[in-house]
Every structure is written in C-alpha cells, then in structure tokens.
C-alpha cells in the first residue's frame, strides 16, 4: 500500500534517511506522577504511534525503535509479562494505522525468545505490511547489539566451515550480510530520551558514524514537536565520517605552510 503524500519540513539542512530511537524514561515518567511503571509503558505506546506516523508523513526511510532489550528480561516478571501483552495489543490495534501510512514492519533481535503469542502477532503484522512501499518501521525486540554481532559471526564461521564462505573475502559488507536485517541502512541520527548518555548495546556496529541527540524529555512526552527539535539539531550538524571538510582542509594547509 502506498503511503500518504510526503510533508517534509524545511529544516535548513540535511534530512536523516534513517532515525533510530532509544525510548527511555517510561518508568521515570510514571514515578514522577505517582503512577505504576506499567502505566508509563502504556503512555509510551502513544508516543510510538505519533512518532511513527510523523516520520512516515515526513518521508523518513527507516525508523528503528529500541523496544525491548535482551537485558530487559531481567526485569520483574510482572513487568515483562505486561510488556509482552502490550506488544501483542499494539500489533493488533496499529495494523490499520500502519497500512494507512504505507509502513512496513520488520523486527530484529532474538525473536524466538518472545512468548509464542507475541511472536505470532508480530509475524502476522509483518506479513500484512510486507507489500507496503513507505517507511520501514523496525522494532528491536529481545535485542542486543553484541548478541547480533556474535550471532552473525557464528553463522559466518559455519559457512566458512561448510566451504560456502572464503575467510579471506570477509570485509565490512560481508559482515553486514550476517546481521539480523542486512537491508538496515546505517542510522543517520540516534535519539535518546530521558537525558541518558549511553547507547545501551543498541546498533553498535551500524551507528558507528551516527549523529547522537539526547533530550531530557521522557519517552511518553516525546511527540512531534520534540522530534522536530531533534531534526533541526541534526540539520545543523556537519558530518565528516572521519575526513576533513573544505574549510578544515584549508586550515590544515595554512598550518602546514606556516610550519614548513
């Protein structure tokens, strides 16, 4: 299904093709309001809906949301059970919105660790949206970047053992082919909410040169105005990828002449 017409804001600079978000602060948001942590997770679902819809409308190519980390299984069983139930409900309730916006759902992580009912709901939504040609919404579930890399290396080692992969041919791009979703483009922008300054084992390989934006806003309060703040900040960045840009090269040349 085709998406709605693109309505991209003029930011005065580049626009990210792939946005990745570490959705943090649901529990803090609830605690500050005298509510249960699970109520914070429920409120966070509204932000997922609004940010997904806004990104699709703006013409973002990929949106990856860190929904449930491999480490999150260590949380209290009651909270984990509620999160898995919330995931099932979201998958069923949001199918109409995903279809309306032409969004394709993909999921990455050790998905077999999910409860069967949750995994079934995910797969059904992935299948339903597979023909859409708009933004890719990628949910990282039971995900850890170190696990992703380790799982990929295991598969590479097995292929090398079976003779289908020449170890001498291994490079960065061949490793990408063994990650959970090889078609995932590197994120241009990683957003983290709730003022935490760490990547938390999220897309470590893919985010090598991503621009990072941190806000003190907790995820349930992160909506389109806050997204636009992040996009404006990104538009003002100068992405070098380790190289020097024009004026930097000029400065270096002048310095070299002065010290010659």
Active site residues: 24, 72
Q: Where are the alpha helices (DSSP H) in the chain?
A: 26-32, 37-58, 77-93, 95-100, 116-129, 145-162, 172-176, 224-235, 246-259
Q: How many CA atoms lie less than 13 Å away from 156 in the CB half-sphere? A: 21
Distance CA 239, CA 241 (A): 6
197-230 CB burial, b ≥16 within 10 A, e <16? eebebbbeebbeebbbbbbebbbbbbebebbeeb
Distance CA 223, CA 54 (A): 9
Rounded to the nearest 10°, the torsion over CA 244, 250, 251, 252 is 70
Distance CA 24, CA 217 (A): 9
3-state helix, strand, coil in the chain (%, to 5): 50, 15, 35
């Amino acid at each position: 299904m085709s998406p709605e017409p693109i309505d991209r804001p003029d930011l005065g600079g580049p626009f990210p093709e792939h946005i990745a978000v570490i959705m943090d602060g649901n529990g803090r948001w609830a605690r500050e309001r005298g509510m249960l942590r699970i109520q914070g997770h429920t409120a966070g679902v509204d932000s997922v809906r609004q940010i997904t819809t806004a990104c699709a409308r703006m013409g973002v190519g990929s949106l990856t949301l860190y929904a449930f980390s491999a480490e999150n299984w260590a949380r209290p069983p009651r909270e984990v059970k509620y999160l898995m139930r919330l995931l099932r409900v979201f998958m069923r309730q949001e199918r109409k919105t995903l279809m309306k916006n032409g969004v394709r759902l993909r999921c990455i992580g050790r998905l077999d660790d999910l409860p069967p009912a949750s995994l079934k709901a995910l797969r059904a939504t992935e299948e339903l949206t597979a023909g859409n040609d708009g933004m890719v919404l990628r949910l990282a579930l039971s995900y850890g970047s170190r696990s992703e890399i380790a799982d990929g290396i295991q598969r590479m080692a097995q292929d090398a053992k079976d003779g289908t992969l020449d170890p001498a041919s291994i490079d960065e791009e061949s490793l990408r082919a063994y990650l959970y979703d090889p078609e995932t483009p590197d994120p241009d922008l990683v957003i983290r909410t709730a003022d935490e300054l760490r990547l938390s084992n999220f897309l470590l390989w893919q985010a090598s040169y991503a621009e990072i934006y941190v806000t003190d806003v907790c995820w349930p309060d992160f909506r389109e105005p806050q997204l636009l703040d992040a996009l404006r900040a990104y538009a003002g960045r100068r992405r070098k990828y380790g190289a020097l840009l024009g004026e930097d090269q000029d400065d270096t040349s002048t310095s070299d002449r002065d010290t010659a």
